[in-house]
Amino acid sequence: MTGPRINRSTGTNDKPSIATGTEASAHSGQGQAADRREAIVAAAARVFQSHGLAGASMRLIAREAGCTTGAIYPHFGGKEALYAEVLAQSLRALYDSVRRAAQEVPEPRRGRAAVQAFYEYYRARPLELSLGLYLYQGARPVGLTRELDHSLNRSLESVFRVITEALAAGGHDQPRMRATGGVSHAVGVLIMNQTGRLKVLDTDPDEQMAFYLRDL
């Protein structure tokens, strides 16, 4: 019977390492915790959509997630932190979509592609747009701490930076102003569509956005 092969230079076994039961259990526990955290965030998004930030509660979120409030607190200190995480995940995904769209086309078309990607992201995810806009009542941020608000603003600024740089690469003058105008137009079209106003005007949102992008 042949025993484990010994590395003559180090004197150690060359047998592949095998995770112990304790290590495997730890990895499994970490995976379950991550899944639970994501389930809590998804449940919170649904509660915020139906009740708003002011009307939401940790009890409602726990009920939607199928757990106790005690299971939420190890991950999030309160509903404000949960709201910030919902928006932060959305903004990260938005950033990736806009950047990828801008990188996949030649420089002259990057600005248009970036603005279109911004529009298409929220067109497919009206819930995320609603949650993001609910944060502001008038011009005053509502419901989040100053630190959380600043963190979200930095994430939004990174999206604007990608659009601005894409417009600059395409030779557009005043790219920052054009980025702001493009995003504002996209959000306006989406809001009018979600509230049924474009239907009253017999206007298709995609056609309206395409009409704007032709001149960008």
Beta carbons of 175 and 168 less than 8 angstroms apart: yes
Cα(179)–Cα(166) distance, integer angstroms: 9
Q: What is the pLDDT of residues 19-42, one digit of tens each?
A: 565 555 555 566 788 889 999 999
Cα(158)–Cα(152) distance, integer angstroms: 10
What CA dihedral angle connects 186, 191, 192 and 194, to 10 degrees?
Answer: 120
Per-residue pLDDT band at 198 (split at 50, 70, 90): very high
What is each CA distance from 52 to 66, 141, 162, 185, 213, in whole angstroms? 20, 14, 30, 25, 33
**Beta carbons within 10 angstroms of residue 162's beta carbon:** 24
19-77 CATH pick, 3.60.15, 2.60.40, 1.10.10, 1.10.287:
1.10.10
Instruction: Please tell me the pTM assigned to this model.
Output: 0.78
pLDDT value, residue 150: 84
Which CATH number is associated with domain 78-216?
Answer: 1.10.357.10
Q: What is the pLDDT of residues 72-115, one digit of tens each?
A: 999 999 998 998 899 999 999 999 999 999 999 999 999 999 99
pLDDT value, residue 31: 75
Residue 15 has pLDDT above 80, yes or no: no
Cα(26)–Cα(30) distance, integer angstroms: 6
pLDDT value, residue 29: 61
Q: What is the pLDDT of residues 124-170, one digit of tens each?
A: 999 889 888 865 544 345 566 778 778 888 999 999 999 999 999 99
* Residue ranges per structural domain of the chain: 19-77, 78-216
Q: What is the 3-state secondary structure (H, E, C) of the chain?
A: CCCCCECCCCCCECCCCCCCHHHHHHHHHHHHHHHHHHHHHHHHHHHHHHHHHHHCCHHHHHHHHCCCHHHHCCCCCCHHHHHHHHHHHHHHHHHHHHHHHHHCCCHHHHHHHHHHHHHHHHHHCHHHHHHHHHCEECCEECCCCHHHHHHHHHHHHHHHHHHHHHHHHCCCCCHHHHHHHHHHHHHHHHHHHHCCHHHHCCCCHHHHHHHHHCCC
